[in-house]
Amino acid sequence: MTATRILVLNSGSSSVKYQLLDMRDNARLAVGLVERIGEETSRLKHTPLTGGGAESRELNGPIADHEAALKAVAEELAKDGLGLDSPELAAVGHRVVHGGLTFTKPTVIDDTVLAEIERLVPVAPLHNPANITGIKVAQALRPDLPQVAVFDTAFHTTMPESAARYAIDVQTADEHRIRRYGFHGTSHAYVSRETAKLLGKAPEEVNVIVLHLGNGASASAVKAGACVDTSMGLTPLEGLVMGTRSGDLDPAVIFHLARVAQMSVDEIDTLLNKKSGMVGLCGDNDMREITRRMGEGDEQARLAFDIYIHRLKKYIGAYSAVLGRVDAVAFTAGVGENAAAVREAAVAGLEELGLAVDADLNAVRGDEPRLISPEYARVAVAVVPTDEELEIATQTYALVNS
């Protein structure tokens, strides 16, 4: 029997998201999520997708750590005949947030690779430790199975130095590995490829601006299939206005908060990462709620929306300049795929750049990649649903079969 199944694990500090896929037809066999690991109120939600139905099962009650979480997931999978001991399981694909400059592509994990991911913890203190835990627990469960790391940063390693370096003292930057790494790379890679497909072209033939607008948000400029610039930097704080993150600001705001407002570094970190962006501007980070409030004439929600759109437009303009020629702008992730009002506003007034949105096409909802620009528009505007788990599974499967 050939092994064609891939388990995709996305381990966060207190959660594990997982999907089991069969790579013969990219079918999802099961999906699930363990939340609030380490608390009394942990929850495992497991949805088997074999056999037609999609009845979820929920386990509520304390799950002490990631090891207990993965064991519980393995038990749930086994109940559906999808156990991790199956010879059909080919590999586990792990989402790893930070691969630094070392990892430019998916990598089979051995002790050296794991040590390097650990060495990158100082530049990704919130993410890499959880990813490492997920890897170690999966290794312990199936020591014989290839474990593959798929890095959020890898797609951006093609950025030229002119885009990747901050204009600070080179020696200091190098000593502390300070540069722009970019994130959401699996999504930018997948969506830019799918956009080329939608245009009936090879990725090498097109230049695409990808706008990944979820709770976290980032833009990228993809030239002939390779990333040449992206809006997130050393950490996912830089760039667009996000659900709870500020995105770009004058770095002197930080000195000001420290000196004048007497805030500690940790307090400023929390302010900019968790209490800023849309939540800081209007108290809500869900675009559904923000647009609903705008409909009721809420001025605060309107201003937050306008700030969000203003930043987005600046990046579309900047990346049009970086790319020289733009073939498509692709909207993706929760906001990009669902919020027609955001897409319309982001493109409004950019006719000189060749951009326009057809109101009727923009209003259509769907799960498939689709064009929303009028036929006359020089640049295609597209909605392209992202699928990071499928991308991780595809890259993992390709690697173990190469």
Residue numbers of the site for ligand ADP (CB under 6 A)?
214-216, 243, 285-288, 333-335, 338-339
CB 231 to ligand ADP: min, Å:
14
Q: Under 8 Å CB-to-CB from 147, ≥6 apart: which residues?
A: 91, 92, 94, 108, 109, 135, 138, 139
Query: Does the annotation flag 286 for ligand binding?
Result: yes
Token pair of 37, please?
């690991």
Toward ligand ADP, which CB reaches closer, 215 or 270?
215
CA distance 97 to 131: 8
CB 33 to ligand ADP: min, Å:
12
Query: Does the annotation flag 375 for ligand binding?
Result: no
DSSP run (H or E) holding 295 = helix 287-295
Query: Does the annotation flag 325 for ligand binding?
Result: no
CB 42 to ligand ADP: min, Å:
19
Query: Does the annotation flag 287 for ligand binding?
Result: yes
Toward ligand ADP, which CB reaches closer, 214 or 354?
214
CB 215 to ligand ADP: min, Å:
4
CA distance 221 to 315: 9
Give CA torsion, residues 42, 120, 21, 105, to 10 deg.
170
Query: Does the annotation flag 128 for ligand binding?
Result: no
CA distance 99 to 120: 7
Query: Does the annotation flag 99 for ligand binding?
Result: no
CA distance 92 to 344: 40
Task: Name the residue number minimizing CB distance to ligand ADP.
Answer: 334
- Distance between first and last Cα of the chain: 18
Look up 387 and say whether it is catalytic: no
Query: Does the annotation flag 336 for ligand binding?
Result: yes
CB 291 to ligand ADP: min, Å:
7
Toward ligand ADP, which CB reaches closer, 342 or 379?
342
Toward ligand ADP, which CB reaches closer, 148 or 339?
339
Toward ligand ADP, which CB reaches closer, 14 or 215?
215
Toward ligand ADP, which CB reaches closer, 334 or 354?
334
CB 250 to ligand ADP: min, Å:
25
Catalytic entry in 152, 284, 327, 387: 152
Toward ligand ADP, which CB reaches closer, 77 or 217?
217
CA distance 269 to 284: 19
CA distance 186 to 155: 7
Residue among 393, 399, 327, 289 at smallest CA distance from 27: 393
* Residue 165 burial (10 A CB sphere; 0-12, 13-18, 19+): middle
Query: What DSSP state is assigned to residue 248?
Result: S
Cβ(265)–Cβ(195) below 8 Å: no
CB 224 to ligand ADP: min, Å:
27
Query: Does the annotation flag 337 for ligand binding?
Result: yes
CA distance 94 to 389: 10
Q: In what order do the strands lie in the sheet with 380-383?
A: 226-230, 217-223, 207-213, 328-332, 380-383, 370-371
Query: Does the annotation flag 194 for ligand binding?
Result: no
Residue among 81, 107, 28, 153 at smallest CA distance from 18: 28
Q: Which residues are annotated as a binding site for substrate?
A: 95
Q: Which residues are annotated as a binding site?
A: 10, 17, 95, 212-216, 286-288, 334-338, 388
Q: Which residues are annotated as a binding site for ATP?
A: 17, 212-216, 286-288, 334-338
Residues with catalytic function:
152
